[in-house]
Amino acid sequence: PDRDAQFHYLNEQVKQHQSAGEPVISVDTKKREQIGRLPMAGREWRPKGDPVRVEDHHFFFSGPDVEQAIPYGIYDIAHNTGWVNVGVDHDTSTFAVESIRRWWKARGHDDHPQATRLLITADAGGSNGYRYRVWKSELAALAAETGLAITVCHFPPGTSKWNKIEHRLFSHITHNWRGRPLTSHDVVIETIAATRTRAGLRVEARLDRGDYPTGIAISKDRFAALPLVKHEVHGQWNYTLLPEPASAQAQPAVGEAHGVADRRHSLLARLTDPRLTGLSSTQLADLCAELAPLQAARAQERYSEQRGGRARRAIGKLRGSKPVFDDAARVILTLLYQRQVCSMKLLSDMLEVTPNCIGHLVAETRRVLEDHGHQPGYAPTRFTTEAELPAYLDTATTPPRTQIMESLSHPRLTGMSREDLDTLARRLAPRQLAQIERASYQRRGADRQPGSRGGIFPQKIGDKERVILAILYLRKLCTLDVLADALGDVSRSLIGNVVREIRPLLMEGGYLPPPATTRYRT
């Protein structure tokens, strides 16, 4: 019933926009194609004795230097015209909205000069899926740029073939290049542009060589500030993005290529502070230069491990795709994480990327640092919220967690000097790492697979903090509840797990904390 109601509502929205003279477009990504002398489905007549020769196996055209074509189509339902943006990098939400932007600038603005609204019909998944924050954020930036109120109506999951673009545009393109090898991007563009039908369909195509890296995310605060209005009927599938912010104090929405990427690069430049990385700018630059060839070798090794042989993935561009973070940025982020400046979640929220993006680059670069023999050590300050780190860089304001742990590490509480405590924490650090990885193996029932994430420290509490808390509890200074209340953002059970894990490490190291003479109830 909910799917049938969505079809009725979508049909009403299309009729309302068309009766008011507003543009209605159907969008989707066509199946990506590899460029090369590969056989295409279908049959085309040729003169006898003059066939088009192709390779009989796809793996002849598979590898890191093979290019691809990603056609993203926009079909104008009222004018029966198609516009296809052929990308060469990744099919991301940023690429999808950029395709709509290009259509509007090249064709839509001229075909609909009086438009104040735009209705987009799309399927429920893919780069234009209704669950993706990036898709909605980029559409909000497009609405602010064009002054259009952009309404999106998604087809219910599993019904994407009802979208008009499938049988009004994509089917004719597939029929037009049947039996014809797509040997270059020019062939793809010319074949799409040559598509015609008896009903009067005309198609334009453009090549888009832009970079659209994966791993982009939108912070909760920026998403909450979007001028997004959900409809009363199936608000998860039907929503409108207004061209102006909901409040006068809110900032206009900006897209990835029009502000967010610049903010990310400026923040990365600030994260190179020696107080965070433990290295001066010269030392950091030298380290990045030394690690660059090792990172390239590790990347090739990782591709081979993941695919069981030589790298076979078509990366899209002849010189390779541009990732969100270059090699130097990967080294910086890995140093911050290994020095336990903050958690991966905090890094991903600040840089507006997915946590998996940070996790994978840390796992890769961590091994490179180990091969190089660099010991990052521990940062004197640890951050748990997004506002603490910029405040520390601007005014050297110490976060509350660091102040609390500084107080809890007082010699009268731990029974040892701060220098001895630091030495003990450094000596136990490799054992903690081994203990964590051994526990992860046991939980999964087998060894970690090649290429998976590893070396993840407990992000709620750092290594040195774990040692301090275990010593305080083993000295019977206070209860687990008192320690949890002192930190404020951790639970009693988490402190109990820390004590249970650190106690055997202290015993193995021959250190048994002496009991304290005072016990604190609060």
pLDDT digits (tens, 9 = 90+) for 233-259: 999 999 999 998 766 556 667 777 667
What pLDDT score was predicted for residue 311?
47
Neighbour count for residue 222 (Cβ, 10 Å): 17
Local confidence band at 434 (pLDDT 50, 70, 90 cut-offs): confident
Please give the angle made by the CA atoms of 122, 128 and 131, to the nearest 5 degrees.
105
Count the Cβ atoms, other than its own, within 10 Å of residue 306: 15
DSSP assignment letter at 170: I
More confident residue, 448 or 109: 109
**For the ranges 71-80, 136-145, 321-330, 453-462, which has the lowest average pLDDT?**
453-462
Share of the chain above pLDDT 90, in %: 54
Q: What is the DSSP string of 426-495?
A: HHHHHHHHHHHHHHHHHHHTSPPPTTS------SSS-HHHHHHHHHHHHTTSS-HHHHHHHHSSS-HHHH
Q: How far is CA 137 from the centre of its chain?
A: 14
Tokens of 207: 């090549």
d(CA 162, CA 6): 12
CB-CB contact of 329 with 362 (8 Å): no
Residue 62: band (very low, low, confident or very high) from pLDDT cuts 50, 70, 90: low
pLDDT at residue 456 greater than cutoff 80 = no
Residue-by-residue DSSP string for 29-56: EPPPEE-SS---SS-----TT-PPP--S
- State yes or no: pLDDT of 360 exceeds 50: yes
How far is the C-alpha of 281 from the C-alpha of 332, rounded, in Å? 11
Adjacent-strand bridge partners of 68: 34
Q: How far apart are CA 285 and CA 282, in angstroms?
A: 5
Question: Each residue of 169-187: pLDDT tens digit?
Answer: 999 999 999 988 888 999 9
Residue with tokens 């190179």: 272
Choose among 26, 82, 112, 27: nearest CA to 201: 82
* Alpha-carbon span 322 to 319, nearest angstrom: 9
If you classify domain 2-43+53-253 with CATH, what class do you get?
A: alpha beta
First to last CA, the chain: 57
Helix (H) or strand (E) holding 122: strand 117-122
Single-letter amino acid, residue 119: L
Tokens of 471: 């010593």
In this prediction, residue 425 carries a pLDDT of 87
The more confidently predicted of residues 306 and 401 is: 401
> What single-letter DSSP state applies at residue 88?
S
Whether the predicted model's global pTM rises above the 0.75 cut: yes
Q: Which of 77, 141, 144 has the alpha carbon at shortest distance from 108?
A: 77
pLDDT value for 317? 43
361 pLDDT more than 70? yes
pLDDT at 305: 63
What mean pLDDT do residues 430-441 have? 75
Give the helix/strand (H/E) hosting 229.
Answer: strand 228-230
Q: In which region does residue 126 sit, left (phi positive, over 0), alpha (psi from -120 to 50) or beta (all else)? A: left
Biggest CA pair distance of the chain? 101
Average pLDDT, the chain: 87
pLDDT at 370 over 80: yes
> How does residue 475 score in pLDDT terms, banded at 50, 70 and 90?
very high
Q: Write down the pLDDT at residue 258.
A: 67
Which tokens belong to 330?
Answer: 């990967």
pLDDT at residue number 316: 40
Q: What is the pLDDT of residues 261-288, one digit of tens each?
A: 888 999 999 999 999 999 999 999 999 9
pLDDT band (50, 70, 90) for residue 315: very low
pLDDT band at 117 (very low <50, low <70, confident <90, very high): very high
pLDDT, average across residues 21-35: 94
What's the DSSP call for residue 511? -
| CA distance linking residue 380 with residue 269, whole number of Å | 20
Higher pLDDT, 41 or 438: 41
Task: Give the whole-angstrom CA distance, residue 89 versus residue 386.
Answer: 32
Distance CA 27, CA 74 (A): 5
Rounded Cα–Cα distance for residues 439 and 437 (Å)? 5
Domain boundaries, the chain: 2-43+53-253, 262-395, 400-508
The pLDDT of residue 414 is above 80: yes
